């Protein structure tokens, strides 16, 4: 696939993930560094994240979400939780992913800052606590 086709593919997937917030996300990336929006579309999404020969769009979106949550990248996790919903993922599946992160983090002795992820509740996901999920 040529470079231009990868850019188109990356922009398409980026737009599916961020939906109506695409332009705002690109603007915010540009505030961090003027080249960051181009890098995100061309390199991250165009070259890597929109390569669906192994995992489809939905699975890729879930992995992005899990990676952001598990690494306490809270603003990015918020975007990818909403992105998973934009990709049509049900709340129950997102809940299962969050529970997996909670289980693995406890197993590995890593602290995931779920208390700072109130956006999970806004999409209907219960925030994990030490011994399960909040009621």
Say what the pTM is: 0.86
| Segments making up each domain of the chain, as ranges | 1-51, 56-135
Of 20, 11, 6, residue with least CA distance to 85: 20
Per-residue pLDDT tens for 11-64? 999 999 999 999 999 999 999 999 999 999 999 999 999 999 999 999 999 999
Q: Per-residue DSSP letters for 75-108? A: HHHHHHHHHHHHTT--HHHHHHHHHHHHHHHHHH
What is the rounded distance in angstroms from the CA atom of residue 59 to the CA atom of residue 114?
Answer: 22
What is the rounded distance in angstroms from the CA atom of residue 9 to the CA atom of residue 6?
Answer: 5
Per-residue pLDDT tens for 72-125? 999 999 999 999 999 999 999 999 999 999 999 999 988 999 999 999 999 999
Angle among Cα 112, 48, 28 to the nearest 5 degrees reads: 60
Contacts of 79 (CB under 8 A, 6+ apart): 17, 18, 21, 25, 68
What is the rounded distance in angstroms from the CA atom of residue 54 to the CA atom of residue 109?
Answer: 31
Phi, psi of 129 (to 5 degrees): -120, 180
Query: How does residue 135 score in pLDDT terms, banded at 50, 70 and 90?
Result: very low
């Amino acid at each position: 696939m040529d470079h231009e086709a990868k850019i188109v593919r990356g922009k398409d997937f980026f737009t599916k993930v961020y939906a109506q917030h695409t332009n705002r996300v690109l603007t915010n990336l540009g505030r961090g560094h003027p080249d960051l929006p181009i890098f995100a579309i061309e390199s991250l999404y165009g070259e890597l994240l929109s390569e669906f020969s192994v995992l489809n769009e939905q699975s890729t979106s879930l992995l992005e979400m899990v990676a952001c949550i598990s690494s306490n990248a809270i603003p990015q996790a918020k975007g990818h939780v909403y992105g998973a919903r934009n990709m049509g993922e049900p709340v129950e599946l997102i809940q299962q992913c969050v529970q997996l992160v909670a289980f693995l983090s406890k197993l590995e002795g890593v602290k995931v800052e779920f208390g700072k992820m109130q956006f999970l509740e806004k999409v209907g996901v219960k925030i994990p606590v030490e011994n399960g999920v909040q009621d």
